[in-house]
Structure 1
Amino acid sequence: MLKKNRICTIISIIIPILLILSIVNVAYKIILTEFFGVSILLPVFLCPIGFILAIFSYQVDKNSRAKIGIILNVVVFLIPFIWVIRRIM
């Protein structure tokens, strides 16, 4: 069970980090991508998965990496909504 817990924790941290890199790429136009909308809407679908994995990991073994995964997933989940609100105003 410990190995599954560690894998869940690692995945729950990797998901938001990759999404942050994708959003930074779109925001600063580092590499031109054709998938602008996908980069912005992908956190809405992937962060809940990472959040659930982090919650599962935290319930099994209360560690700080699971807390980091929970916080990162919540923050990255909110980025598209903040982006849209900022564009409207």
Structure 2
Amino acid sequence: MKSAYERALEKLESRGIAAPQQDALDEDQRRRIEDARSRHQAKVAELEILHRKNLAADPAKRLEEEENYRVELRRLGERLESDIERIRRG
């Protein structure tokens, strides 16, 4: 007896649609991705603490500090995505 997943794959193939690729990660890759995410969370927490400190220290530079925070947060997110993709490729 076939599972619902297997039947869905057959249905896709009968329509000429390629089945999704199995992205099987080994234990080492899973561990490395988990470590990368953990480091990312720590960096984001550190960035947020510094951001709040800078806002309290000089309210006049609030807009500049907000922009710097957003840019750095985006950079950290892109770095995480890049690291995970590199780990997945092996």
TM class by shorter chain equals 0.3 to 0.5
Structure with more contact order per residue of length (Cα contacts < 8 Å, sep ≥ 6): 1
Q: Which has the higher helix share?
A: 1
The TM-score with structure 2 as length reference comes to: 0.39
